[in-house]
Amino acid sequence: MIIIDTREQNPLWDDKHNAILFKKLDEGDYTTEELLNKAHIERKSGNDLYGSIIQGHKRFRKELDRANEKGITLAVFVECPKEFFIGKKFKGGFRLKTHPAVLRKIITTIQDKYGVEFVWCEDREDLRNRALEWFNMQKSIHKNG
């Protein structure tokens, strides 16, 4: 069963096609029953990610810190390819001022400092498929680890 944070405004899955449960998650937007408090996914559009690392960086950092403190593997799944994000070729990106080299450095710093995996996806459908694959991989890791 997929667990979706109650605050998620545009869920990736619906209950017509999947067994889902809405529950408040303090870290991330998605997990499964088996992976609750072990491995969670934070979903971001390109614009959301930009806002999280530039304007809302303190709140985002606190979420990353909480996940680390609780031992939760957190992955950030982004609804655009990395080069589109770095080049600000996502909806609304053309207005943003941060230089691409700075965006690249911030992403690398977050990965290194917090051990967060960024998964860059072509679109929403790709994200949905890759999230299911990631959950399956995490189930194997947490079952054996």
- HEC sequence for the chain: CEEEECCCCCCCCCCCCCCEEEECCCCCCEEECCCCCCEEEEEECHHHHHHHHHCCHHHHHHHHHHHHHHCCEEEEEECCCHHHHHCCCCCCHHHCCCCHHHHHHHHHHHHHHHCCEEEECCCHHHHHHHHHHHHHHHHHHHHHC
Q: Is 88 left (phi over 0), alpha (psi -120 to 50) or beta?
A: left
What CATH fold (topology level) applies to the domain 2-144? Rossmann fold (3.40.50)
Please give the residue that has the higher pLDDT: either 143 or 129.
129
- Averaged pLDDT, 87-116: 94
What's the confidence (pLDDT) of residue 99?
94
Segments making up each domain of the chain, as ranges: 2-144
Residue 65's pLDDT band, with cuts at 50, 70 and 90, is very high
Predicted confidence (pLDDT) per residue in 9-38, tens digit: 889 998 777 789 999 999 999 999 999 999
Q: How many residues does the chain have?
A: 145
